[in-house]
Chain A
Amino acid sequence: MFNSALLRALPAGRGAAHIPVMAELHIVGQIVGASGFPQSSLFCKWGIHTGGAWRLLSGLKEGQTQVDLPQTGDMAYWSHPIDLHYTTKGLQGWPKLHLQVWHQDAFGRCQLYGYGYCHVPSSPGHHHVRCVTWRPLGSWQEQIAQTFVGGGPLLRSPDIIYSGADRYRLHTVAMGTVELELSIIMRHFDRYGVES
């Protein structure tokens, strides 16, 4: 008869470790502001995109900041809070942040000033993230019209840009930078042998 003493003799923890807890990720921080754009009356639409293995437990994963018009200096400050709690069962599809910076002028018209994409940091701690932005360029006629009237081409659907496979078709121009401060807290990732 097999007895359980044999099981105890073998070291525990080798092989598959079935620990019934899940890996959790907290993203806590703020979108501080943006600088380097031609005009300074800006607002930002942001969102976080994850893969299929991730589930959002609490927090809002997209939003829009207020319009900020700085009186002195170039940087528009939003201080928009980000507070998210994810749980996951795989490392693929790590959260990515996408941003759209818009400009609102004195007449209330909005025009796009830039798209930006970056990964959420994967190591725990405090990170200062600077996400650069670019804007699609049209033909030279459209560019001349843009200087007078505003507007400009927009992406038909921003989602196709996440994978990067279709990016080579775009012709863009560099715009400003968005600054974020994010604190990352990772829980139970080390139980699954993840080093980050």
Chain B
Amino acid sequence: MADGWSTDTGEAVYRSRDAVKNLKMKIRIQRVTSTAALSQHLQQQVLTQQERGGIELDTLNSQSQSAGDDDEELVVGWQEKLFSQYEVDLFQSESVCQTPLERQYHTEIMAQERTRGRRNRRIFTYTDFDRFTNWEGHSQSMVTQVKSNPTFLAERMANVRHRRQDRRPVDSTIPKSRLITWEPSEDFVKTSHVVNTPVQTMHIMGDLGPPGKLGQKEKECLLCTIRADGNGVVTIKPDFNKAKEPYRQVTLETEGEKREVWRLTLENVSEGIRPEEKEREQRMYKDLYVRHKDYLNSLVGQDFEMPPPGILRLLVNGEIDSAKGFEYDNLYVHFFLELPHNWSTLPFHSLSGVTQTCRTKTIGKDDVAFFSYPFSFESFFRREDETEESLPQWPVLYFKVLSLDFWQRYRNEGYGYLVIPSTPGKHTITCHTWRPLQTGTVSELRRFFIGGSPELEDYSYVRVPGTFKGERLSRFGFRTQTTGSVTFNLHCIQHARAFVDASTLKKRRQSVLDQLGGFSQQGSVYNVLEAFQRARRRMQEARESLPRDLINTTAQQNSESTA
């Protein structure tokens, strides 16, 4: 045949917020015979020729619809039970009915026969309550084996599915007492060891026997399976194919009769939501969100504290984590922060601290002391001189490690420094330390027995002395000994008004300097804006005090002039 088939019969998963009982599907099956194919071919030819004023279609149409038994189209709702010819024949007599469900079918069939007859001929359905749905998945094996028994797990899951027809409400509360069941019952074990999401299934079947001989159970073919669970997830196998090629449904081969090919088309005809309902729903959601936002705003307030314009605020949250590799025990760290020239801080803000004294423990080959001492400070940077092209200097953290032992001997264990990183984010930095040495044995003996040691007078000597004003720093002649290392965790945050502009204008920020470089321009613009706002406010106040008729006449004059 010239027309193509769709071979993709995989599952399609849909999600719906509406109840699944509103689902409606249109199914069409059509037998493929030679006359049908010919008429369709002719129809296609004619359609292409119709632009040129071709043959009328009426004659061809009547031919294709002559065989009514080979073509059926039906709209099926969710869990709508349609009886097959086989079932109608079976449940005619009351004696066959064993379960209440079958008796109900019997009454329904009788009622149907009395009134207007069946809506369907070949297409029928198996709903969730029929025996077929529970049996079908269980007995079919997934692999091609001559004889395959379902595994233990498959049997258990089939039993569970069969049992959980009623959807139990899922309780989300955690019991406060009796968390553990020490003696689980068989039932409990079964339900909690296997997956049991309650799913409602519906099968749409087609009786594809030869025309006039419907009602044979062997000729039933599964056309479509719909599964819906309680969360609005609907799985349809195979998927809707209204606009695409139809599916190919082949009947089973029986003795003496050849296989037949049918064309299957599925279409979704569920009603969409009405526009006024949709609008109402959207209004409700918008209302809810606005109210939630107002509630959030009322909790904290809308103002975020901002630094003054042109100033960069650096916030460092950090902790002194640990120290390792030092000579003596009972270590503590004394640190302070040095702010360079253009930096300032809030008054009464302490920039130094002392940790607790910690006895070390041995991890591997090192003696480690844990401090876990959090500190946080903030400082402000303001570029004073714009013509200066040098990079800004960042604050430096100087620290000193000391040991104080049981005999109250106090020793200097090492000096170190740490430059606060200029990029925001998390930094874990390990700094190595050294301590100054004096030549000769006297100082070492003193350090061992009594505990004094030489110390630096100016701590900034560790990095660059504050009094240094040359080009080359020389430390020639200064003797030190390497001691251990201290680990810091720093979280740096930078905050400035200039960053707001960059993000709103969507510019790529090159560096802090470029942004802050034009602060004076920003400052002047800001000043102009402020002045304008003040003047406008004054004007408005003055205007309010004027008598009413004066204002009206001026407005009229304005409108006349622009007309």
Q: Is the CB of A96 within 8 A of B522?
A: no
- Bound CA–CA A144/B29 (angstroms): 89
A59 CB–B CB distance under 8 Å: no
- When C-beta atoms are compared, the residue in chain A nearest to B305 turns out to be A90
B residues 529-563 near A (Cβ < 8 Å) are: 529-530, 532, 536, 539, 558
Given contacts A115-B372, A119-B317, A167-B353, 19 further A-B contacts (CB under 8 A): A1-B558, A13-B504, A91-B495, A94-B315, A118-B489, A119-B318, A122-B492, A123-B491, A131-B372, A132-B321, A132-B371, A134-B370, A134-B371, A164-B355, A168-B354, A168-B357, A172-B359, A174-B369, A196-B425
B70 CB–A CB distance under 8 Å: no
Q: Is the CB of B426 within 8 A of A122?
A: yes
- Bound CA–CA A137/B373 (angstroms): 17
B72 CB–A CB distance under 8 Å: no
Q: Which of B299, B330, B539 contacts A55 (CB 8 A)?
A: B299
Chain A residues near B503: list those with CB within 8 A.
Answer: 190-191, 193
Q: Is the CB of A119 within 8 A of B304?
A: no
Q: Which of B309, B318, B425, B500 contacts A123 (CB 8 A)?
A: B425
B526 CB–A CB distance under 8 Å: yes
Chain B residues near A131: list those with CB within 8 A.
Answer: 372
Residue of B322, B360, B426, B522 contacting most chain A CB atoms (<10 Å): B426
B110 CB–A CB distance under 8 Å: no
Q: Is the CB of B426 within 8 A of A123?
A: yes
Q: Is the CB of B370 within 8 A of A133?
A: yes
A residues 4-30 near B (Cβ < 8 Å) are: 6, 10-11, 13-18, 20-23
Shortest CB-to-CB span from B535 to chain A, Å, is: 8
B residues 377-433 near A (Cβ < 8 Å) are: 378, 424-426
Shortest CB-to-CB span from A106 to chain B, Å, is: 19
Chain B residues near A64: list those with CB within 8 A.
Answer: none
Shortest CB-to-CB span from A114 to chain B, Å, is: 8
Q: Is the CB of A172 within 8 A of B357?
A: yes
B136 CB–A CB distance under 8 Å: no
Q: Is the CB of A194 within 8 A of B493?
A: yes
Chain A residues near B363: list those with CB within 8 A.
Answer: 36
Q: Is the CB of A20 within 8 A of B426?
A: no
B87 CB–A CB distance under 8 Å: no
Q: Is the CB of A190 within 8 A of B499?
A: yes
Residue of A87, A133, A193 contacting most chain B CB atoms (<10 Å): A193
Chain B residues near A177: list those with CB within 8 A.
Answer: 370
A39 CB–B CB distance under 8 Å: no
Q: Is the CB of A22 within 8 A of B496?
A: no
A195 CB–B CB distance under 8 Å: yes
The answer to whether residues A119 and B500 also contact, given A89-B303, A89-B305 and a CB cut-off of 8 A, is no
The answer to whether residues A171 and B372 also contact, given A195-B499, A196-B424, A196-B425 and a CB cut-off of 8 A, is no
B289 CB–A CB distance under 8 Å: no
Q: Is the CB of B424 within 8 A of A195?
A: yes
- When C-beta atoms are compared, the residue in chain B nearest to A93 turns out to be B376
B residues 18-43 near A (Cβ < 8 Å) are: none
